[in-house]
A and B are shown apart, each in its own frame.
Chain A
């Protein structure tokens, strides 16, 4: 009875556009869905460092190398903002990280594709970060205060990611025949997986209805996907790049770009762990965690030693 009254109050607060803060009463489902969503988002940032980190030592010049290093460092930062946002809901970071390393937790399927050429670094910045910005701009308005603030901070930084990516794309697109071929080939590989980043279509999305009810999400997967396509097609045209979709055409009446059917079988295959790089990513993540163990232990030993010195 008490809970029903609280639930009604909670829903009124959401309706009035109020922001929910960590100590406020919240329904258990709200907390659960947020923990699931925020920790998946955090894991995606961390695993997302791997495909790009792969090219840091092979960047074509110092300017590109500095930019890529800074970008990958930002992704680590984004992971940390998000882990701490999730921690305000009563889960600890250690257990979230354990869930990632044990394979229990999911992360964005896009990071299970390989970065085969330098062009992929440009395309990831342009398409993958571009899609992430569309999603995160919405999440910056989500009902949970700490999550919304983390996304706001992330969006401010992602704009540099997208722009540096598009600069690489434009440079290659205006380059030699071999460079043009390389960038087009890369776009062909990344276009569809980028569209899949927005998640299943509305009628097949298991969590969307609930997340929308809680105002964690305020636009549907399909709406966000459409926004991304509308934004991106003119950017491709500007540098004479095409997308691998014969059905892509502008609808004068709706003012939107219509696109072909997404291969959802591929999406589910990758989510379930059978993408080209799932195993590789997890192994790299585990190795990084293990290789960093001595640093964590040294920091702890130093902190303990100082504490003892301070007490005596």
Chain B
């Protein structure tokens, strides 16, 4: 019995938090039949050496991302706004702590 792509176990993206206060970061992906097994497999595949104190798993198909082909125009609006940075502004010499 060979499985077709359609009935292959769904794919999950795995995010690990490495220590208290750190953000969850993408570690990789895996297949699992349900969320519970996805979490257990994520621990065995991506945290065999205490790499994580917390794990998120998300169905890969539920992730919406920007597409590389539109990346230029999509991120354009931020590229010409240097007034969003402190370096854009000048203040009198000798004033400290601003």
Contacts and interface: CB of A to CB of B under 8 A. Distances in A.
Contact of B34 (A94, A98, A306): A306
Interface residues of A, number: 29
B45 A25 contact: no
A16 to B, nearest CB: 15
A74 B3 CA distance: 27
A11 B4 CA distance: 35
Interface string A70-83: 10011001001100
Interface of A: 21, 23-25, 70, 73-74, 77, 80-81, 84-85, 87-88, 92-95, 98, 149-150, 153, 157, 299-300, 302-303, 306-307
B29 A87 contact: yes
Given A299-B37, A303-B34, A81 B68 contact: no
Contacts of B37: 299, 303
Interface of B: 2-5, 8-9, 11, 28-34, 36-37, 44-45, 48-49, 65, 67-69
A92 B5 contact: yes
Given A21-B68, A73-B48, A93-B8, A302 B29 contact: no
A85 B48 CA distance: 19
B11 A87 contact: yes
Contacts of B8: 92-94
Contacts of A302: 33-34
Nearest to A300: B33
Contacts of B68: 21, 23-25
A181 B94 CA distance: 78
Given A25-B68, A77-B48, A303-B34, 9 more contacts: A23-B65, A80-B45, A81-B28, A81-B45, A84-B28, A93-B31, A150-B28, A153-B28, A300-B33
A98 B2 contact: yes
A25 B34 contact: no
A299 B33 contact: yes
A157 B30 CA distance: 19
Contacts of A300: 9, 33
Contacts of A153: 28
Contacts of B32: 299
Contacts of A80: 30, 45
A278 B30 CA distance: 29
5 contacts: A23-B67, A74-B48, A77-B48, A87-B11, A303-B37
